[in-house]
Each structure stands twice: as structure tokens, then as C-alpha cells.
Chains A and B, each alone.
Chain A
Amino acid sequence: MSILRLLTGLLLLLSLSLPAGVYAQSSDSEASALLQALADSSYAQKQQVISDIVSSGDERARTWLEAYADGKLAQTKDTGAFVFVLSNRGRDWTVADALSGDTIGEMSRRNIDRIRINNALRKELEGMLSVIDLTVDDADTRLAAARALKGEVDAALAERIGTLLDTEADDDVHDALTEALAIYQVAQGEVAAVAVLSGSLNPQARVALNNAAQSDNPELAAAAAKALESIQTKLKINSAAETLYFGLSLGSVLVLAAIGLAITFGVMGVINMAHGELIMLGAYTTWGMQQLFPGQPGLALILSIPAGFLVAALAGIAIERTVIQHLKGRPLETLLATFGVSLILQQLVRTVISPLNRSVVTPEWMSGSLMINEALSLTLNRLYVIGFALVVFAGLMLIMRKTRLGLEVRAVTQNRAMARSMGIKATRVDILTFGLGSGVAGLAGVALSQITNVGPNLGQSYIIDSFMVVVFGGVGNLWGTLVAGLSLGTINQILEPWAGAVLAKIVVLVFIILFIQKRPRGLFPQKGRAAEG
């Protein structure tokens, strides 16, 4: 044992007697000395040591402090070397050299002495780390660091930020730093800083202003109160924007679910209660594609757009051929028969796949959110769904207005006999139209799989809503469906905060029921010959 100590002492002596490094950064010996001080000092002194490490300008300071904050910085008992603990599972821990960063290998747990840290120090460290980040070259890192500083600034930091501001070239970083500094200054009672915070959406800024508004200094209190007011207005606008976004998102889901129905029910006049199940098939197609391409959710999702369309379209055509064509001109019977089909499809999915919900992976480029400002961020998947709904709508509009098929569909719906006598194959048009409407339902399913659970009941929950949208918008009118879907979604979201989700839904349903009483043909009734189909 004593030999070991002796050896350590010798080693220490040796290391001290080594010539000073010629690196631009501090030498390893200086670094060891700093870390040794960190290990040896009391909690009260550690703060000073940390500042020393930061101001040493060593490039490795960041990794050391990060590791220290995570409790991974340690010293070996035998050699006194500083190491990072990479894995602390089991008896032997994997460690890396703290100075060179090279992995050393496994080492007995008993030989490792972690440098202790407490919560106060950890918090301190977070502020310190961001200061280090403020000096790196990458502007994004600087911006993130500057944002993290808001509300964390103390006297020492304020001084540093003051000097940094002079050299900061990036405007965003500059603004963030100014704001962080202003939060501190307002807390210190500087009236001039209030102007900086006026209109800021940062919650820390609001805390600082709230405190200032209650201060004894009447000038400061008045200025802060005024600034708070402008912030409140801004927040209200932002929350309104957020509600609108959620409303549009829900609305676009409704539009997607209903737009296929607008073709089959609105244009063809066929009541397809299995429409919801066609949506479900589209969603399950997405799930199936992801099973086929494991690990590539993005590719699978893109492929499932045509696949979902095809699956649902074929299923729709099968329903048309086997059931609906025998019930032409009997809408109520069609309703019942297709309801039966929907029951069969649901049970089929339950029996063949599973009665439980399947999880569909969201690809990376669709997860996360788009940050507009500090009070408003838009989730990407919903943004994609809104875009997708608009694209699908535009596509359908084009087909119905500009193509031969669209022309024939409108001709057959207006006057079947006349259209046939003009040489239009009515049966073929029926099949294609129904396939189109069903395929669009499949597309809706693909989109829905990204934002809700994929289960056997998926379609059921949308069918009543979809019919409401089509009826509300005016049967046979695609624009009506778009407007109705988006407005119903928005109304629902506006009602939700003060009425609750369920009551909002009820209110919307009752509203539609009353609306249909007033305008039985919907928002945009068809005019002229198309009116009495």
C-alpha cells in the first residue's frame, strides 16, 4: 500500500517537473491542476474553480463541465488521473481520459472516485456552460445559448454579456443577449431596460416585469405595467393564432375525411356508410407499408399515398359492384346495406389484424414543430396534413372541372338517360367516380394515421362528422365541403376552451341540425339543373 502511495507521489512529481506545454491552450498539467482543485475544494470554493476553468479558455473546458454536471467526471484513486465515466453498469466501469478524450477501457468501480456536485452548483454550471457556448463560432449554438440565458443572468454574467454584446455580429444572437441582459437589469431596477422587454414573449421577461410592476419605484412600476399590457395583447394574438391553427388542422382532417364523401354522396348521390371504413383501410395500408419497409417510415409513408389510394379505391369499387349498383335509386336501402358493409370491414380488421390499435411511426421530417416565436409553435405533422388536404382538394377540383371524367360525371348525375344517349358509358362512369371518391378516403386514412390512433374504430368516429360536413357545405359542392370542413373545425376549437371537448362537439352538432332546418341545402346550395338531381 505504501509503495503505491510512493509511486503516486513520484508520478505527481514527475508530471510537475515536465516542461510547460507549447499549445495555444493551457497545457495538460495546468488542466490537471484545475481539475485537481475542483476535486479537492469545498462546495463554496468550487464555484470559483469553475469560473477559473471557464476563463482559462481551454477548449476542453466545455466537455469537462458537461461531464461534471452529469456526474461523470471522476478521478482514479491509484493514479489520480481524471476520467470520464462512459458507462457505470456493473462492477467495472468504462472510462475515457478526461484530458485527451481517448477511451481507456474498463476499470474497477472501486478505483473511481467521482467528483461530487450538488444541485446549486449544477444550476450554476448550466449558466456557465451557456457562457462558453456564447463564444463558439457556430451562430445557432450561440443563439441557443443566449436564449437559455434568459432569467439566468447574475452580476458576473451581466458584465460578460456586456462585453460579448460589443463583438456579437449575428443580429438574432445580439437581440437574445440584449433581452437576457434586460431581464437582469429590470430585476435590478433599471427603468430604461423595460423598453427592451416591452413586447417580448419570453416567460422570464414576463416574470421580471411582473416583479417590477410591484416595485416601490413608481416610474419603474408604471413602465413595467405598460410593457406588460403590450405583452398581454401580443399573447392574445398568439393564442388566437394557435387556436386558428388547431382549428384549421382539425378542419383539414374533416375536409380530407369528407371530400371523398362529397364525391360519392355529393356528386353521385350514393350514401356510403362504409366511407369511414375506407378511411380506416387507408390508415391500415400505411401501417402495412411500414411493416414492409421497417426502419424507413418516410419511404413507407410516401409509398402508402398511392397504395392507400389504390386499396381504398379497389375496395370501394368492389362495394359498388356487389352492393350499391343493385340499390340504384333507393338511397335509404343503400344507407343500410353500406352500413352492413362497414360492420363487416370493421370486424374483418379486428379478426385478421387485431382489435387493438396499431402504432404508425411518424417519420423524422414530420415530427417536431415549427417555432414562429416564443409563444407560438406549430407541430409539423399537422402542418403537413393541412398542406396535404389542400393538395388533395385542388387535385379533385382539377379532375372534376378539367378532365373528361369530371365532365362525364357531372353529365351522368344531372341527367343519366340523356348522358347515355350522348354515348357516355354510365356504368363505367359510376365505377370510376366511386373508385375516385373511395380512393380519396384512402388518402385521408394515410394522413390520419399520422395524427391519430390506427384502430378498427378509426372510420366510425369520422363518418358522422364527414356527413355533417358534406351536408353543411351543400351536397354536390366541393368548395362547400372545403369551407364547411375548415369552419366546423375552427368553430370546434374556439368552443373547446370554455365548453370542453365533448360539449363543443355537441354544440357543433346541434348547430348543424339547426342550420339544416334553416338551409336544408347547405351553405352553398346547387343552382340550376344540378339542383334537383
Chain B
Amino acid sequence: MVKRYGFPLLMILLLTAGAPALAATPLPDIPKAIKGEQCVEDTGFMRRNHMTLLEHQRDDTVQRGIRSKKHSLKHCFTCHVVKDDDGQPVTAEDPRHFCRACHDYAAVQVDCWQCHVSTPEPSATSVKGVQP
């Protein structure tokens, strides 16, 4: 009897015991954008395709000089900012950072922050000097 039904029984036992654990798997706590209700594209689209958009924009900007704001990495941080207790935006070195929230959860490591700044620009750059 035990020999015959032991294994399925064990599986059922394990599954029922495991179900609550599965349901309780924590979802990433995604920080809310500081302004606006709508991202540059649908939220679902962004979740699936932000990397494609960023990669396109990256090549367009560096190689062809296209600097439209919409899909630029810099533009993400005008809204997606997480501030620390002192009201300062946290960098990607902080696990609370917008990108980190999901990327840590999904265990996907990105290579952006070796070179790029992960916080909004401190202020608008000077508009001194005009091309002849």
C-alpha cells in the first residue's frame, strides 16, 4: 500500500504544503513615478519592451545623433525617482532604485550604471553659446 501510493501521496502532501508558500511569493515593490500617471508607452508594453526601446535609442543617439527625449534613459529619471530619507534621489547602487526594484527580483543584471548616471540631472544645462 505504502509502496504503491506512497509517492503520489507524498507529492500531494508537498504540494498542499507548498501552495501557501507559492501564493505568498513576494512580488517586487515597484516604486511609483513621482509625476504623471502614464509612462511614455503603456505600462505593460514598457514592462516587456523597455530594453528594446532603450537599446534602439542608445544606438540612434550615439551613432546617428538622434536625441529625441521619449525613449531616452535620461528621460526615465524625470519621473522614476526614488528619494532617500534626506530627500535625495537614490542611485542604482541603492536597492530601492526604480530599476533595481524589478531587476533584483528578476535577477537580471544590467550594465548601464558602469557609465551612465542613474539619477535625474541636477539642473538644466547651460544654454550658453550659440553655433555660428
Answer whether A and B are interacting partners.
Answer: no
